Amino acid sequence: MEKSKLVKALLIASGIIGIFIGGSLLFVPVAFQASAGIDLEGNINLLSEVRAPGGTLLIAGILILSGAFMARLTYGSVLLTCLFYLSYGVSRVFSVIIDGMPSSSLIGATIIELVIGGASLYVLVYYRKKHKSV
């Protein structure tokens, strides 16, 4: 995949966000979730359930960021960005429909996830069309 400045910026931004959120969920979940009004204090089972996807998101963020600097990882990184961010965003929309409106910080996260996921989907479709016509 050709790496334009836009693709590189998308991978850098989404990778850094993934690393920050994943690292926060893995290493400081109580404080991080408290910023969204979620109380995890003393709930060992819930802490385990929060840390596990935090580690996954941290590793995904590292792989996504790597794609900004290593050409052989670019396509996979854009695909991973699309899958991770759209699945989080769409799942949060589903939760709003089923469970109701969460805090404003979680609504903001939903919007960011959908925008990043949508942008990465656009990149995948654009480059596929561009290379099919050649």
Q: With beta carbons less than 8 A apart as the criterion, state whether 62 and 21 touch.
A: no
- Indicate the DSSP class of residue 106: H
Q: Residue 44: how many CA atoms within 13 Å on its side-chain side?
A: 0
Write out the H or E segment, with its range, that includes residue 53: helix 44-67
pTM: 0.91
Q: What is the dihedral of CA 74, 76, 81, 84, to 10 degrees?
A: -170
- Tens digit of pLDDT per residue, the chain (134 long)? 566 899 999 999 999 999 999 999 999 999 999 999 999 999 999 999 999 999 999 999 999 999 999 999 999 999 999 999 999 999 999 999 999 999 999 999 999 999 999 999 999 999 887 767 54
pLDDT digits (tens, 9 = 90+) for 47-77: 999 999 999 999 999 999 999 999 999 999 9
